[in-house]
Amino acid sequence: MNWEKRIGKLRKKFGEKNIEAVLITNPANIFYLSGFTGSAGFIFAAPEKAYLITDFRYEEQAEKEISLQIFDLVICSTKIIDRIKDLVESENIKRLGIEAKHMTVDFYNELNEKLSRCSLIPVTGIVEELRTVKDEEEIDRIKKAAQIADSAFDYIIKFIKPGLKEIEVAAEIEYFMRRNGASKASFDIIAASGERSALPHGTAGERKLGNGNLLLMDFGAVYKGYCSDITRTVVIGKASEKQRKVYDIVFEAQNRALETAAVNMTCSELDGLARSVIAEYGMGDKFGHSLGHGVGIEVHEAPAVSKNSREVLSPGMVITIEPGIYIKGWGGVRIEDMVLVTEKGLQVLTFSTKELLEI
């Protein structure tokens, strides 16, 4: 990863945000800018220097993960906030950008008290804006994470059988992904069956799979710090006419979005492509979430592919397309793929079959 280039892009935003330096506290942004994966640390980026601030527990790890040509490594033996104060004062910073959404009230109050001569300026999104468009190395990692998830789906459909608990299905998916290169799952795996499949985020429970049940599975892998995200819905046993009808509507909605999307289209326009299909069948009120979201270091990141989003599709973005229909007391269907935005449209990154499987 080109850490120097990323820090340079961050500094270019100082003028736009009317700040002189920035304190990065979001772990995902710290990883993006430096490669550091420790759970305790901050980045202080000044006009000429960048500092990675952590404590003794992560000293050796930081030395291995970050570029010491780009970052000064600061190991705190006292309170980390006191070291931040020393650095801000040594750099003579009067306007410090902070990530307000990733800072506790207590930490903010103490920092504000310590830096009495410095204004704290909320600049949430300053790094996330850089992360929306991926570089080639990021895309390669995301593709590998997607490949692991695809392989997990191919595996799990051979494992599933009536009588298994949802939690057993989820555990088997995660175990497979970890055995095949994932450091962990991207999020708590969703395996929701029967009427529980109507819960868009129905994490796996004790319910047993029964004949005729829909089974909605939403999962992803983390590979070298980057996530994947895929959803497939299958039927345990023979699919009913209604299950096939609902599935076909969702499939058609996703296809319209995949085939029609174009660079410079707004995310709200893309959302509308799929949403209009479901509405045409009289089920618009059964699709209550956004069409998709960005994927990268975090499984949910910018851009938001929603009906209210004015963000524009740009080459290098990686997003999901995941329409769904959810009927309380009956069940739900969702189909989700990850796609890369290119000059020619959307390139699908997940390849698991979208045929309605009867297992």
pLDDT digits (tens, 9 = 90+) for 98-147: 999 999 999 999 999 999 999 999 998 999 999 999 999 999 999 999 99
Distances (CA, A) of 51 to 34, 59, 108: 10, 13, 19
What mean pLDDT do residues 321-327 have?
99
| Lowest-confidence pick of 76-80, 209-213, 242-246, 288-292 | 76-80
pLDDT tens by residue, 157-194:
999 999 999 999 999 999 999 999 999 999 999 999 99
With a cut of 90, say whether residue 1 has pLDDT above it. Answer: no
- Domain boundaries of the chain, sorted by first residue: 3-131, 136-348
Burial label, 71 (beta-carbon count in 10 A; 0-12, 13-18, 19+): buried
Rounded Cα–Cα distance for residues 149 and 218 (Å) = 10
pLDDT tens by residue, 229-244:
999 999 999 999 999 9
Q: What is the pLDDT of residue 304?
A: 98
- How many Cβ atoms sit within 10 Å of the Cβ of residue 353? 12
**Order of strands, sheet of 226-227, starting from the edge strand that comes earlier in the sequence:** 184-185, 221-223, 226-227
pLDDT band with cut points at 50, 70 and 90 for residue 77: confident
pLDDT band with cut points at 50, 70 and 90 for residue 195: very high
Q: What is the pLDDT of residue 124?
A: 87
pLDDT tens by residue, 214-229:
999 999 999 999 999 9
Rounded Cα–Cα distance for residues 12 and 20 (Å) = 11
- State which amino acid sits at residue 294: G
CATH T-level fold of 3-131: Creatine Amidinohydrolase; Chain A, domain 1 (3.40.350)
How many residues does the structure list for the chain? 359
With a cut of 90, say whether residue 323 has pLDDT above it. Answer: yes
Q: What is the pLDDT of residue 244?
A: 99
What mean pLDDT do residues 196-206 have?
96
How large a percentage of the chain has pLDDT more than 70? 100
- How many Cβ atoms sit within 10 Å of the Cβ of residue 319? 29
Tokens at residue 109, please?
Answer: 């109050």
Domain 136-348 classification at class level: alpha beta
With a cut of 90, say whether residue 78 has pLDDT above it. Answer: no
Q: What is the pLDDT of residue 325?
A: 99
Tokens at residue 60, please?
Answer: 């050796």
Q: What is the pLDDT of residue 58?
A: 94
pLDDT tens by residue, 12-59:
999 999 999 999 999 999 999 999 999 999 999 999 999 999 999 999
Q: What is the pLDDT of residue 319?
A: 99
What mean pLDDT do residues 294-312 have?
98
